[in-house]
Amino acid sequence: MKLEKYSIGVGDRFGRQGLAQLAAVQKAQQQGLAIVPVWNKSHREHTIIHTTPAAVRAEADAAVREGGWQGRYYVDADHIGLHNVDVFLESSDFFTLDIAAAIGQTAAPEAIRQYVDHLDVYLGPLRIDGVAETFEVTRGRIEWIASKYLEAIRQAGCIYRHIEAAKGPGNFVTEVSMDESHEPQTPLEMFFILAALAAEGVPVQTIAPKFTGRFNKGVDYVGDTAQFAKEFEEDLAVIRRAAQEFDLPENLKLSVHSGSDKFSIYAPMRQAIRKYDTGLHIKTAGTTWLAELGGLAVSGGEGLQIARQVYRRARGRFDELCGPYATVIDIDRDQLPSPDEVETWTGGEFADTLRHDPACENYNPHFRQLLHVAYKIAAQMGSRYLDALEAHRQVIASEVTENLYERHIKPVFLD
């Protein structure tokens, strides 16, 4: 199973927007862009919303059937480890092995020694086309990278073989993610990480590094865009070289997590993948839930009541909701409107404040980030929330499709 060059991770908290998400991919296809959808959901999300991996598979299959999609599509077990992969085995055909937590764990000295011996052909100056710096590779430097990453990669190998034993080799796509680690990976680290993954026998097709800057949930990139562009290009250069050098799939590509709404880096990303004629996977999970909430608000009536209530309760449970996302949100409480004020807003005002349109003066990224992490409240509303999605299906679907196509697929892949 070989993942296509361009793919988009479409998360869906409540599993009701599969068709609307697929419609965005189909619009892109009509514009001549070959891109495939990947429905992804993490164990963390399933736990908070009380959904199951089987439901994601059912949603994807139903969307594809109803939407008449002829192309390939995937269901991604996002951010899994050995302790929680089993519930995903049957319904997923794409697995994101999360090694971030194991980075820095100590590898066996013997494993480190073998690894350095295996790579001693790279000792001395190492030039990688597309990377300005010439690296001076020493045993010490490889040992240092090994002591940081080798144990994490050994664990990725264990998870991979566990999945392979259940599904059979070649029957699923493997991604390795490090995006939730503390520091960005340097190009040289990336090169030797890929070497280790190849040696471990993990046929990684997409790799998600941690990039420089902040990838806050649902809002634009915060950081030095020129530095990001440089790192992104260097990663592409390293991946190209590693795919030639090591036993790795030829379609190996970058995966960008928390990739939704990062408008200021979409142009550099698009230019870089064109320059290198390479693929890209971009995960956009939470943006669909926010489009859904905006759709409810503009629907008025009960839909607007629900949207206002989600906000009021989110204010009351600020610490509980923000806690698990502390490292990926930046909310200034003073910039949040009071729930009483929001109670007086029209649906249009609510949606304008929420919708990520930097040109709109009502847009408030603090309001948006708080609602991004507030999906638990909607989940607790149960059938009241789900019935409203059903009642206002068309308005919501058009918000979801437009958001994914106009604000994400188009600027990343087409413009």
Which residues lie near Zn ion (CB under 5 A)? Answer: 179, 257
The contacts of residue 231 (CB under 8 Å, 6+ apart) are 184, 187, 211, 212
Residue 96 or 353 with smaller CB distance to Zn ion: 96
User: How far apart, in whole angstroms, are the C-alpha atoms of residue 17 and residue 395?
Assistant: 12
Residue 78 or 399 with smaller CB distance to Zn ion: 78
User: How far apart, in whole angstroms, are the C-alpha atoms of residue 245 and residue 194?
Assistant: 10
The CB-of-281 to Zn ion minimum distance in angstroms stands at 11
- Which has the closest alpha carbon to 378: 284, 310, 315, 311? 310
Residue 257 or 355 with smaller CB distance to Zn ion: 257
Amino acid present at 366: H
Amino acid present at 110: E
The CB-of-116 to Zn ion minimum distance in angstroms stands at 30
Rg of the chain over all Cα atoms, to the nearest angstrom:
22
Residue 8 or 304 with smaller CB distance to Zn ion: 8
User: How far apart, in whole angstroms, are the C-alpha atoms of residue 68 and residue 145?
Assistant: 47
The CB-of-37 to Zn ion minimum distance in angstroms stands at 18
Residue 130 or 259 with smaller CB distance to Zn ion: 259
Measured in residues, the chain has a length of 415
Residue 98 or 151 with smaller CB distance to Zn ion: 98
Instruction: Name the residue number minimizing CB distance to Zn ion.
Output: 257
User: How far apart, in whole angstroms, are the C-alpha atoms of residue 154 and residue 160?
Assistant: 10
Residue 148 or 257 with smaller CB distance to Zn ion: 257
The CB-of-42 to Zn ion minimum distance in angstroms stands at 8
The CB-of-210 to Zn ion minimum distance in angstroms stands at 9
Q: How far is the CA of 11 from the CAs of 74, 241, 258, 284, in angstroms? A: 12, 31, 11, 6
Amino acid present at 215: F
Residue 82 or 165 with smaller CB distance to Zn ion: 82
User: How far apart, in whole angstroms, are the C-alpha atoms of residue 234 and residue 275?
Assistant: 12
Q: Is 284 helix (H, G, I), strand (E, B) or coil?
A: coil
User: How far apart, in whole angstroms, are the C-alpha atoms of residue 110 and residue 154?
Assistant: 13
Angle separating helix axes 109-118 and 139-167, nearest 10 degrees:
100
The CB-of-29 to Zn ion minimum distance in angstroms stands at 26
User: How far apart, in whole angstroms, are the C-alpha atoms of residue 253 and residue 233?
Assistant: 12
Amino acid present at 182: H
The CB-of-96 to Zn ion minimum distance in angstroms stands at 7
The CB-of-289 to Zn ion minimum distance in angstroms stands at 16
Q: Are 8 and 38 in contact (CB under 8 A)?
A: yes
The contacts of residue 342 (CB under 8 Å, 6+ apart) are 308, 311, 312, 350
The CB-of-283 to Zn ion minimum distance in angstroms stands at 7
User: How far apart, in whole angstroms, are the C-alpha atoms of residue 379 and residue 376?
Assistant: 5
For residue 347, give both structure tokens: 């649906």
Amino acid present at 53: P
The CB-of-179 to Zn ion minimum distance in angstroms stands at 4
Helices (H), 4-83: 18-30, 43-49, 53-67
Residue 304 or 412 with smaller CB distance to Zn ion: 412
The CB-of-177 to Zn ion minimum distance in angstroms stands at 5
Residue 142 or 193 with smaller CB distance to Zn ion: 193
Strands 204-208 and 253-256: parallel
Residue 181 or 403 with smaller CB distance to Zn ion: 181
